[in-house]
Amino acid sequence: MIQYFVYILESEANGVYYIGSTSNLNQRLIYHNSGRVKSTSSGTPWILKYKENYSNLSEARKRETQLKGWKKRKALEKLIQHGPIV
């Protein structure tokens, strides 16, 4: 059974967060750090700060959209601090 992940990365270069979803978290992190993802290429290196597991892509995408809608950085930082250990 395929697992899906919603993840939060933090740029070591500028401290910006990036939120995404994928079925292969390790490969996706490699893509982000190698500059293969246009939206994150200027922030390398990226560090995985948080992840959530989902059983289907639909649920993962809904959660990704929800997190991207959070306007305050502090809300994401609270989630990262008190959420599952990465």
- Measured CA to CA, the distance from residue 54 to residue 61 in angstroms comes to 10
User: Among 10, 4, 14, which residue's Cα sits nearest to residue 64?
Assistant: 4
| Domains delineated in the chain | 4-82 (3.40.1440.10)
Task: Record the pTM.
Answer: 0.92
How does residue 83 score in pLDDT terms, banded at 50, 70 and 90?
confident
Express each pLDDT in 13-47 by its tens digit.
999 999 999 999 999 999 999 999 999 999 999 99
User: Among 11, 17, 30, 20, which residue's Cα sits nearest to residue 51?
Assistant: 20
